[in-house]
């Protein structure tokens, strides 16, 4: 039986421009401890939709885990602005705390 990661990889292979499939694949890769492989898929999602907060948050957190704090900060700052604009209070609190640690 194929894993979640394999299922989403197959979907991305068939529809590489589908940002939802890429987002799901990135999440699965990150969950499997394959964060470095997830980065490009999260980056695709960030580039595809300027108002999509979650890929920015997850990519920012992943980059922090990978020791790329300098790369993470602008993503987390953008995500914070989106959280405020879109009235997402819990992500806003989380992002303020994360940014205070950077």
At 2 the pLDDT is: 82
What CATH code would you report for 4-101? 1.25.40.10
Q: Six-digit token pair at 29?
A: 């890769």
DSSP notation for 43-102: HHHHHH-TT-HHHHHHHHHHHHHTT-HHHHHHHHHHHHHHHHHTT-HHHHHHHHHHHHH-
Rounded average pLDDT per 10-residue block, the chain, 102 residues: 93 97 98 96 97 97 96 97 97 96 92
- Domain residue extents for the chain: 4-101
């Amino acid at each position: 039986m194929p894993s979640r990661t394999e299922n989403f990889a197959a979907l991305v292979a068939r529809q590489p421009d589908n940002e939802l499939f890429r987002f799901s694949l990135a999440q699965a890769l990150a969950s499997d401890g394959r964060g470095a492989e997830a980065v490009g898929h999260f980056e695709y999602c960030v580039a595809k939709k300027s108002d999509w907060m979650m890929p920015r948050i997850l990519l920012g957190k992943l980059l922090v885990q990978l020791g790329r704090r300098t790369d993470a900060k602008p993503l987390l700052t953008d995500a914070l602005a989106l959280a405020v604009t879109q009235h997402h209070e819990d992500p806003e609190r989380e992002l303020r705390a994360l940014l205070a640690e950077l």
